[in-house]
Amino acid sequence: MSQNPSSPTSAPPTPPSAPAGSTSEDRSARVAVTVFPVLILAAAALGFFVPAAGQAISGYTNLFLGIIMFAMGLTLTIPDFSLVLKRPLPVLIGVLAQYVVMPLVGFAVAWVLQLPPELAAGVILVGCAPGGTSSNVINYLSKADTALSVTMTSISTLIAPILTPVLTLWLAGAYMPLDAGEMALSIVKMVLIPVIAGLVIRLVLSRLVDRILPALPWVSVAGISLVVIAVVSGSADQIVSAGALVLLAVVLHNAFGYLLGYWFARVLRQPIRTARTTSIEVGMQNSGLAATLAAQYFSPAAALPGAVFSIWHNLSGAVLAMYYRRTAQRQDADPR
């Protein structure tokens, strides 16, 4: 759920070729990211106080996520993947950090906080998910490398059917049993096929898709909101008993993702702008996917960290964007 929206739990990426603030898609994406946490909080409240609403749609979360990922595919173009050939090292570093830093941080947070098995599995699964597409908009607002962010998100999403179930089985298997093969197949159905379908349609019907691009962030917002309603409605008791603990786990997971993602790139001698891009890309997860998979393969309680992450990483991402943008402006004014 980003996607964000994150994750493909979040708003679709801003086209890297677009000048800052030049398109209605840019403006729509920025508004969606700003309003998204409020809408997700409202969705969580609805699921908590009116659980019947969430239970009525709980069987459709896979469909909602597929729609989100299809919308993401519609925002992609072939040039978004060209950086893999033009700048392979920063792309490799970002994707490697995505699937090394966040899974291990999720495992460490679960161990340090001594989380119950269901919550521990949910936190680890969030860490094993690919990057969320709201990271692309946060990078744009941060004056970081948006084109690199789009490529990182795209590549991490395309390899998720392999790495997400393998890493989850390795790190969370001790907490909860998992059929990694079935999870991989689900990710192919919910993520890979819709993304590729959206990309193909963008190639074939580019003029038509260009007209609807400004509406796509709101498709993602609506989709992840519905996922959160369904997840929260099935976890009301766990929210009451362990809500503060889950929030603490999510805050730590997200914060260390930003920090370690930045230094992962810097230690490998990447420039500051690339390190900031990696920081945001690593810290912001497709938590909508994580919540959906957790509910399907673990339990409703295991989906709770993904739902909370969907809210938190957009709030923290907006704050981080303001910080990065201000420091970038100071560096532009005084390169020393």
For 55-105, what is each residue's pLDDT tens digit? 888 778 888 888 888 888 888 888 878 888 888 999 999 999 999 999 999
Give the pLDDT band of residue 14 (cuts 50, 70, 90).
very low
The CATH code of the domain that includes 155 is 1.20.1530.20
pLDDT reported for residue 29: 56
**Any domain includes 1:** no
| 274 vs 253: CA distance, rounded Å | 21
Q: By mean pLDDT, which of 1-15, 109-123, 216-230, 234-248 is the weakest?
A: 1-15
For residues 4-12, give the mean pLDDT: 42
On the question of pLDDT at 21 being above 50, the answer is no
Confidence of residue 15 (pLDDT cuts 50, 70, 90): very low
Asked if the structure places residue 161 within a domain, the reply is yes
DSSP 3-state assignment of 186?
helix
Please give the tally of structural domains in the chain.
1
- Residue 5's pLDDT is 45
Whether residue 29 is contained in a domain is answered as: yes
Looking at residue 54, its pLDDT comes to 80
Q: Which residues contact 321 (CB under 8 A, 6 or more apart)?
A: 138, 141, 142, 280
In a domain, 228, yes or no: yes
Asked if the structure places residue 209 within a domain, the reply is yes
Decide: 320 and 280 in contact? Cβ < 8 Å: yes
pTM for the whole structure: 0.82
User: Does 11 map to a domain?
Assistant: no
Instruction: Write down the pLDDT at residue 105.
Output: 97
Q: Domain containing 133: what range?
A: 24-329
Domain-located, residue 207: yes
Residue 9 lies in a domain: no
Helices vs. strands in the chain: H and E counts, helices first:
17, 0
| Percent of the chain with pLDDT strictly greater than 70 | 88
Whether residue 259 contacts residue 287, with contact meaning beta carbons closer than 8 Å, is answered with no
